[in-house]
Amino acid sequence: MTTAFSILDLVPVRTGQTTAQAIATSMTLAKAADDLGFRRYWFAEHHNMPAVASTSPPVLIAAAVTRTKRIRLGSGGVMLPNHAPLIVGEQFAALEAIAPGRIDLGLGRAPGSDPVITQLLHRSGTTSDAQQFPDHVQDIMQLMSPDGATVRFTSGGTYDVHATPDAAGSPEVWLLGSSDFSAKLAAQLGLPYVFANHFAGDGVERAMSLYHQEFQASERHPAPVSFLTANVVIAPTQAEAEERALPQLRQFARLRSNKPMRKLETIDEVLADPSDALEDSLIQQNRQRWFVGEPAAVADQLRAFAEQHGVDEVMISPSAGAYASEPADETPGRLATLELLAGAL
């Protein structure tokens, strides 16, 4: 089995870095991923987080289109309860028109933020919610198709709705999840499926097994299509890789222990301020699920990971932190992770 590799980007923002600089480094990373032969590059959706600038996947995808030539670009994912299905359909139909055959629409049913931000997102009156997720996934697929969707009135009559006037094609729709629900829904609808292993980890065996066992062939997908995400840090030496993993590991620990979020620390800041006992315990737990080390060893581990779970692709979240001396408009550690992995494959 030949394993393909892709990239998931949360557009991390570190100490001393502006949003503009963080996004610029991600655009550089997207271009590098394109040049290095990675299969796809996806942007996440998170809100009101000091260390994450990936708030609007469609905007970031559009920016990345202008900097790449070949690689597929998409969302990992659009959190559907935050948006009206028609708006999502219009945005991604437009992206498909801009970059035909290169757009992926990954959909998730989590809010991607805290309850307060979720309420703010819903103040616009969107009818989307997690309970209607299955229906809204199908609505979006119909709206983006060349035939569009048909609204049927209870009083009689119909009304045709299109996400774009004359679609020549439609984005590839993926379902994202970290539980049985999305795995079973993707199987039922004959859609590709992604397990969010980069933040979940538990339950991956059951979810992937359910998806493959219950998959129902569709016109576009006669067989199951799936991949897993993974946090990856690669450096020339094991010692450097372990150091570069520290800022994101501690950020995860702060999130899990309900501590106030802040910009991603530099490696120097983490080393100068040792973690407390709870943080250290959480860091050690998360570190066991990460792929951290030298190029050849990590490449072999990722291939084995893909084979273990029966997928032909792994989407890595390049989670290398930065030293304080590194320029704010560059991301040497994340770039090295991509370059070293590509060289080891």
Local structure of residue 266 (DSSP, 8 states): P
Local structure of residue 264 (DSSP, 8 states): B
For 112-143, b/e burial (b = at least 16 CB within 10 A) is bbeeebbeebeeeebebeeeebeebbebbbbb
Given a contact cutoff of 8 angstroms between Cβ atoms, the answer to whether 97 and 48 are in contact is no
What domains does the chain contain, in order, with CATH numbers? 4-344 (3.20.20.30)
The residue among 39, 51, 37, 47 whose CA lies nearest residue 8 is: 39
pLDDT at 123: 56
Q: Would you call 339 exposed, middle or buried from its count of C-beta atoms within 10 A (0-12, 13-18, 19+)? A: middle
- Coil, strand or helix at 154: coil
The amino acid present at 139, given as its one-letter code, is: D
pLDDT per residue, tens digit, the chain (345 aa), is 489 999 999 999 999 999 999 999 999 999 999 999 999 999 999 999 999 999 999 999 999 999 999 999 999 989 988 888 999 999 999 999 999 999 999 999 876 566 666 666 665 555 456 678 888 899 999 999 998 988 888 778 888 999 999 999 999 999 999 888 999 999 999 999 999 998 876 789 999 999 999 999 999 999 999 999 999 999 999 999 999 999 999 999 998 888 888 999 999 999 999 899 999 999 999 999 999 999 999 999 999 999 999 998 999 999 999 999 999 999 999 999 999 999 999
Q: How far apart, in whole angstroms, are the C-alpha atoms of residue 95 and residue 103?
A: 7
Q: How far apart, in whole angstroms, are the C-alpha atoms of residue 186 and residue 216?
A: 9
The amino acid present at 154, given as its one-letter code, is: T
Given a contact cutoff of 8 angstroms between Cβ atoms, the answer to whether 241 and 293 are in contact is yes
pLDDT at 218: 96
In residues, how long is the chain? Answer: 345
pLDDT at 201: 63
DSSP 39-106: SEEEE----S-TTB----HHHHHHHHHTT-SSSEEEEEEEEGGGS-HHHHHHHHHHHHHHSTT-EEEE
pLDDT at 51: 96
pLDDT at 82: 87
Radius of gyration of the chain (CA): 20
